[in-house]
Amino acid sequence: MLLEGKRALIMGVANKRSIAWGIAAAFHREGAELAFTYQNDRLKENLDELLDGIGGRGAFATFPCDVQSDEQLGACFAALADRWGRLDTLVHCIAFADREDLTRPFHEMSRAGYALALDVSAYSLIAAARHAAPLMVQDGGGSILTLTYNAVERVVSGYNAMAVAKAALEAEVRYLAAELGPRQIRVNAISAGPLKTLAGSAVKGISRLRDLTAEISPLRRNITQEEVGDVAVFLASDLARAVTGNTIFVDSGFHIIGVPTIQEQ
């Protein structure tokens, strides 16, 4: 029970295939007390159904929170403070870009689409961290986690606007780690391999990326939701008490491969 006694807020559960849900399930297994945010009523229904499968929706705190609204962010964390008084872990799993700005050529990305992807996918981490930090200080520090993808360093066709947003997100991890570190708040990112998620379905060719990971990664297999959840448990636990400012790859080693090795027949 690596997270027994810890309290975690998870932002971004869309459905059972969400990486956020994989992290939530792993946290629950390790004894963490959980709270969740949801963007709208439709996603709340999905979340409630999932929570019913791990003890019932009444056992968990849930809060509406559209991260593009400063008012909703403030209300969410105020309600969390009233309920718990402190926070140990914030899990940020929020990303969005207009489908058109993922499918059109990169140089034709719209100004509005660029701004939207950065606002929802990257700025939201800064805003959430600003609200979470005072609650973490109450208990001597904490851990902030977010999700990225290696399209930041490698060109991935169809990732376009989201690649730019994830690049900003990774820079934020380093700056937040430096600023919040003196308060014993750690900030890290997990760069997961391509999974079959709702967000991933918007990226053209994502199924081929999953196949390619299984074909040429050092481990010769793709990853699972559970494996990402286990790494998140480590980062949220006291085992990672000296780990901050990092992007940790959970991709079967795919990120180290340059030109795929061609096996002689």
Torsion of CA 240, 243, 247, 248, to 10 degrees: -40
Choice among 38, 114, 149, 175 that is catalytic:
149
Angle between helix 225-236 and helix 19-29 axes, rounded to 10 deg: 60
SS3 for 202? helix
Find all residues with CB under 8 Å of 21, minimum gap 6, and list them: 13, 14, 15, 50, 225
Quick check: 12 and 92 in contact, CB under 8 A?
yes
The reply to whether 149 belongs to the active site is yes
Whether residue 159 lies in the annotated active site: yes
By the 8 A CB rule, do 220 and 253 touch?
Answer: no
Helix or strand or coil: residue 75? helix
Which residue type is seen at 169?
L
Residue pair 118/94 in contact by the 8 Å Cβ criterion: no
Which of 38, 123, 159, 175 is flagged as catalytic? Answer: 159
Residue 177 to residue 188: CA distance in whole angstroms: 8
Neighbours of 48 (CB within 10 A): 16
Task: Report the C-alpha gap between 127 and 69 in whole angstroms.
Answer: 10
* Residues with catalytic roles: 149, 159
